[in-house]
Structure 1
Amino acid sequence: MSRNYQLSQLETLESEAIYIFREVAAEFERPVLLFSGGKDSIVMLRLAQKAFHPARVPFSVMHVDTGHNFPEVLEFRDRRVAEVGVQLVVASVQEALDRGFVHAPPDGTRNRIQTPVLLEALDKHQFTAVFGGARRDEDKARAKERVFSFRDEFGQWDPKNQRPELWNLYNGRIHLGESIRVFPLSNWTELDIWQYIAQEQLELPSIYYAHERTVFDRNGMLFAANEFCPPRPGEETFTASVRYRTVGDASLTAAVRSDADTVEKVIDEVASTRITERGATRGDDKFSEAAMEDRKREGYF
């Protein structure tokens, strides 16, 4: 009887990601997984569980909390971490502001000041490898990333100083103070993420699905009216059926009009779109064509 040993697209991506998790656990003394409660980090945590089953996930998870997060996402973050049984390290931007380590920009947003808080937390806990959920399809700058992204002693990224990755061979050698950012989802697309969520029956924060929300239009994007992002003079609020494709800061992350209230409907919607989730919903990527690359050079993910 003939057997079919061909892997599906999701099985291939899952196998690659699991291999990456195991490589990092074998090569680095203190890895950590960034976990915000967003869909990509939820998928990563699931992959980490599979990589080390039946043992527990052998590293902590960390969230750089700006204080401007959607409450639904924070509630889900805490619940999911408790279910998995991993330690949560919270690097608080608000705490850094209170002690004068960082200063809020004039517009009140906090996404850009996450970077020094992240770098301080990595140094404090001596994390040498950091798993991030970035995917190459999200942004031009992220398309330049290797799976193992080398960072110097200042946490900075130089796209011209990255190591070759031939035949899935990853070089994890670092000197004191240096670190590696690791992206197990590099080759995944937004559609792959949603199909994997459906396959694994993963729970997500409710705002990923269509719901009624009070919003206003700003530069062609729909922002939720809340304490972190109040409407400006002339911006009128209205109620619309929306969902979030990504869940960054409430002050910078926009929603999209949608009636997709199930994972199957979201998959159909994502399959037909031609605009990346960051391009469609992230106000922090509208500053310039090189906005993401500039932040990555400073140490951002």
Structure 2
Amino acid sequence: MTTVATVSEETGSPYALSHLDALESEAVHIFREVAGEFERPVILFSGGKDSIVMLHLALKAFRPAAVPFSLLHVDTGHNFPEVLDYRDRTVAKHGLRLHVASVQDYIDRGVLKERPDGTRNPLQTLPLTEKIQAEKFDAVFGGGRRDEEKARAKERVFSLRDEFSQWDPRRQRPELWNLYNGRHAPGEHVRVFPLSNWTELDVWQYIAREGIELPEIYYAHEREVFRRGGMWLTAGEWGGPKDGETVEKRLVRYRTVGDMSCTGAVDSDADTIEKVIVEIAASRLTERGATRADDKMSEAAMEDRKREGYF
């Protein structure tokens, strides 16, 4: 990323970019780099805050032209209705093409089996990798950030995946001076992470600055939840609650949005973006560490899934 100091019209002296401007500039550069290097890129878009910011940056990178990428959502079948509604409205608003890889389709065909705990996030890998192969996507944008989880801290911005979509940390390339190597063999592809250097707080500050709309579940609201594994899970058709688990109505919000069966809500009265930013600034746990049951299945749960082809 090359950053040129802008000259103030009032004083005639140069001034440095703010940290949000620098992060935005880096992400825009990455989107344009991918557009120049690859033939069939796609953006993973779930309707979560990171993918929303990623799409916002892509729109900025190519404005006034259209975004030259389609979107891909791996649908577990246990999504929050508010998030699916947001996804569909966003796709229609910007005239984008949406690919959907459905976990339920794989279950119906007997290719995948339901887990005893009802969690479907670990089942996303096969639909994702087969969709990438079927559509011949050679670059896949993801909203992963290095501050989220220790396995993601190992990621490069351009993360090479082999012909089976598997990740091997030993095959990753150096990225000195923001130079990105997109070279890959036939059948391989590259996962691209424009938000790698962002933190959760950066994301929220950027959302506030840009006035980006989010699904309402990111803000405090009353919801029927029950306690499991130290987290507040949403009651619903996915299999919760079980006998002995009591449903109660609480004021909560979601820091991260995934499958309803493994994404926990947090007690919160942060019903505005300003309050959310204050809350995050004071938090001592990452969003995934605090609210994602799928990352607690083992000490290396995320890394194991990434090696298999997960995001």
**What is aligned with 1:232?**
242
The Cα offsets for residues 59-109 of structure 1, whole Å up to 9 and x where unpaired, read as 100100010100000000000111111101111111122222322223222
Residue number in structure 1 paired with 2:263: 253
Equivalent residue, structure 2, for 1:101: 111
Question: What do the CA deviations read for 1:201-247 (whole angstroms, capped 9, x no partner)?
Answer: 01100100000011111122111111114122222121110000011
TM-score by length of 2: 0.95
Determine the structure 1 residue equivalent to 2:197.
187
1:40 corresponds to 2:50:
yes
SS at match of 1:120: helix
Give distance in 2, aligned partners of 1:229 and 1:254.
Answer: 15
Match of 2:282 in 1: 272
Name the residue aligned to 2:59. Answer: 49
Matched, 1:207 2:211: no
| Pairs aligned (count) | 301
How far apart, in 2, do the equivalents of 1:260 and 1:4 lie? 38
Question: Contact (CA 8 Å) 2:118, 2:239: kept in 1 or not?
Answer: no
Matched-pair contact (CA < 8 Å) for 1:36–1:64 = yes
Once the two structures are TM-superposed, the CA of residue 172 in structure 1 deviates from its matched residue by 0.4
Structure 2: where are the runs of 5+ without partners? 1-10
Matching residue's letter, 2:165:
G
Name the aligned partner's letter for residue 293 of structure 2: G
Q: CA deviation at 1:129?
A: 0.2
2:168 equivalent among 158, 163, 174: 158
Question: Are 1:67 and 2:77 an aligned pair?
Answer: yes
Residue 28 (structure 2) pairs with residue 18 (structure 1): yes
> What is the CA distance between 1:5 and its match in structure 2?
2.8
Task: Judge conservation of contact 2:43–2:142 (CA < 8 Å) in 1.
Answer: yes
Q: Which runs of 5+ in 1 are unaligned?
A: none
Equivalent in the alignment of 1:169 = 179
2:90 is the alignment partner of 1:80: yes
Equivalent residue letter for 2:248:
F
Match of 1:116 in 2: 126
* Alignment counterpart, residue 178 of structure 1, candidates 188, 198, 216: 188
Does structure 1 retain, via aligned residues, the 8 Å contact 2:145–2:199? yes
Partner Cα separation in structure 1 for residue 107 and residue 97 of structure 2? 24
Identical pairs, percent: 69
- d(CA) in 1 for partners of 2:286, 2:141: 22
1:198 and 2:208 are equivalent in the alignment: yes
**Per the alignment, in what secondary structure is the counterpart of residue 145 of structure 2?**
coil
1:115-134 aligned within 5 A: 115-134=125-144
SS in 2 for 1:15: helix
- Distance in structure 1 (CA, Å) of the matches to 2:37 and 2:80: 35
Deviations 1:10-67 (A, max 9, x none): 0000000000000000000000000000000000000000100110000100100010
Could you tell me whether the CA contact under 8 Å between 1:30 and 1:59 is conserved in 2?
Answer: yes
Distance 2:82 2:156 in 1: 32
Q: 2:149 aligns with which of 117, 136, 139?
A: 139
User: Aligned partner of 1:111: which letter?
Assistant: N
CA contact (8 A) 1:223 1:229 kept: no
What corresponds to 2:13 in structure 1? 3
TM-score, normalising length from structure 1? 0.98
C-alpha separation in 2, matches of 1:266 and 1:57: 30
- Per-residue deviation, residues 100-156 of structure 1 (Å, max 9, x unmatched): 232222322211110010001001110000000000000000000000000001100
| 1:148 and 2:147 aligned | no
Equivalent pair of 1:229/1:250 in contact (CA under 8 Å): no
Q: Quickly say closer, same or farther: Cα 1:271–1:229, change in 2 above 3 A.
A: farther
- Cα RMSD, aligned residues only: 0.9
Q: What residue identity is the alignment partner of 1:205?
A: P
